[in-house]
Amino acid sequence: MSNWKPKRFWKEATVVEAEGGFTVLLDGRAVKTPAKARLVVPTRAMAEAIAAEWQAQEKEVDPRTMPVTRSANAAIDKVTPQKAEVCRMLADYGGHDLLCYRAIGPQELVQRQASAWDPILSWCDQQLAAPLASGQGVMHVEQPAQSLAKLANEIERLDSFGVAALHDLVTISGSLVLALAVLHRHLSSQTAWALSRIDEEFQIEQWGHDEEAAAASLAKEWAFLSAALILEMLAFSH
């Protein structure tokens, strides 16, 4: 969507019911995806968020300020035609989840990871029936096939819009377990983001802030929190 920057031509963005859900009209003209498909989303809350994003645009449309629109476009244009493949890609994160790979040292970081991540792995075991092993260093940690199948089922139960939002949570954080904890409302999105940043924050404490890295982190955090809000709009969180 990097080249998608039309000029603003509308005065009002409104939400109307459509076959299959809700859509957004710009002065009566239906919004379409970059691939020219009908932009129809499953809940009014998501449609209203999209309409608000369009209404907030000024002279040119800036997709970077439209996370809900971008997620809906991705769901329709990218996920729907290849949903099984996207689900498999996300499920693969369970086999090398961030929470399962621990530092060898220093001891302060080792302890910080354990105290932050062990309770989430326990939740994954108890609530999702998907125990995962952890290890130190970068050597591959083999995970139980049954656990990986359970995690895959959690993804596959979502529709394309849910998968698109979960995709951002997983790929930004590097953790399928954290993403599912947000989906199930076991963790707030802010807490999950902080847990995904244990290593980075430790390094900042040791070496100080880098402005470029800090800006990149803020952008990722905003995208992560936006994806979590979209799951709430879709009413998948429970």
The residues facing 16 across adjacent strands are 23
Is the same domain home to 149 and 32? no
Q: State pLDDT tens for residues 184-232.
A: 999 999 999 999 999 999 999 998 878 898 899 999 999 999 999 999 9
Q: Is 131 helix (H, G, I), strand (E, B) or coil?
A: coil
The domain tally of the chain equals 2
Is the same domain home to 115 and 199? yes
* Residue 4 vs residues 1, 61, 126, 222: alpha-carbon distances, Å: 5, 8, 45, 21
Which residue range forms the structural domain that includes residue 1? 1-65
Q: State pLDDT tens for residues 67-96.
A: 999 999 999 999 999 999 999 999 999 999
**Tokens 């001891």 map to which residue?**
107
Is the same domain home to 4 and 112? no
Torsion of CA 116, 118, 120, 121, to 10 degrees: 150
Residue ending a domain, among 65, 94, 114, is 65
- In DSSP notation, 192-209 reads HHHHHTHHHHHHHHHH--
Provide φ and ψ at 122, rounded to 5°: -65, -40
